[in-house]
């Protein structure tokens, strides 16, 4: 039985002592994990657990250490991919274009993509073999903040940023922009960063077009606390424990 890349040793009932689970999951040494429990820093299913003999089922227990979610034991993988521009956000394409599958063909799992990115948009996309997680994360009621960096035509002035933050209504309804700022102005173009939580089709491009600044290049740089930095185009990495815990909470899983 593994927890996000680590083997977890349980007893014949499938249970494990809590401090042992914490240590095997990489939280800290066994002794430090016992101290964390005694300090009241460990919760299981919403209850603080301080008794050192406590056993839990690592597959189902919702464990938090100092408020941070410890992902459950599972055979699932949760990956971050830096999707290059020109790659289609599907696992197969009848037109024969390059797809996400081409970037992960050496992986043994059957992977699903969480949401999509336009073919001409690059950046962060999540992949997993956990179908429930993929569906839940893509559902409008659970959408987490997504950060985009756009190179747009023209100089973006403060009044435009204010307009974005006050809310823009497109043909398919209003869009809430959580944060917006000009990162850089380069003559006849600007670099703008936006944080939104919506996943409607081509939403960022339509939004910026609406306020008079057509997008030349667009990259998604973050989903929640999951950052793109350090990943070259086409590269993959596993979500960290903290990143996965936060997304599981966001998806109410």
Specify whether 118 is catalytic.
yes
Q: Active site residue: 93, 118, 172, 238, which one?
A: 118
Q: Which is it for the CA torsion 17, 22, 23, 26, positive or negative?
A: positive
Residues 6+ apart with CB under 8 A from 244: 4, 69, 71, 78
The single-letter DSSP state of residue 142 is: G
Beta carbons of 117 and 238 less than 8 angstroms apart? no
- The torsion defined by the Cα of 209, 192, 203 and 96, in degrees rounded to 10, comes to 100
Instruction: Map residue 196 onto helix, strand or coil.
Output: strand
Q: Which residue, 228, 224, 81, is CA-closest to 149?
A: 228
Give the full edge-to-edge strand order of the sheet including 47-48. 47-48, 42-44, 63-65, 68-70
Distance CA 124, CA 126 (A): 7
List active site positions. Answer: 118
């Amino acid at each position: 039985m593994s927890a996000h890349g680590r083997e977890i040793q349980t007893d014949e009932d499938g249970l494990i002592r809590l401090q042992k689970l914490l240590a095997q999951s990489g939280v800290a040494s066994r002794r430090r994990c016992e101290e964390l429990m005694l300090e009241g820093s460990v919760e299981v299913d919403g209850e603080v657990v301080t008794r050192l003999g406590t056993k839990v089922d690592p597959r189902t227990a919702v464990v938090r250490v100092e408020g941070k979610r410890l992902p459950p034991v599972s055979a699932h993988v949760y990956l971050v991919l830096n999707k290059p521009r020109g790659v289609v956000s599907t696992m197969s394409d009848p037109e024969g274009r390059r797809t996400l599958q081409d970037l992960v063909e050496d992986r043994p799992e059957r992977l699903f993509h969480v949401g999509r990115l336009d073919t001409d948009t690059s950046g962060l996309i999540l992949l997993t073999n956990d179908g429930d997680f993929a569906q839940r994360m893509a559902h409008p009621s659970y959408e987490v903040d997504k950060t985009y960096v756009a190179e747009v035509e023209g100089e973006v002035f403060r009044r435009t940023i204010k307009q974005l933050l006050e809310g823009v209504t497109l043909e398919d309804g209003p869009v809430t922009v959580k944060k917006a700022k000009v990162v850089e102005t380069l003559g006849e173009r600007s670099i703008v960063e936006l944080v939104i939580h919506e996943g409607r089709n081509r939403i960022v491009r339509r939004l910026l077009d609406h306020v008079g600044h057509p997008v030349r290049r667009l990259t998604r740089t973050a989903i929640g606390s999951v950052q793109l930095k350090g990943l070259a185009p086409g590269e993959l990495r596993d979500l960290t424990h903290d990143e996965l815990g936060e997304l599981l909470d966001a998806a109410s899983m």
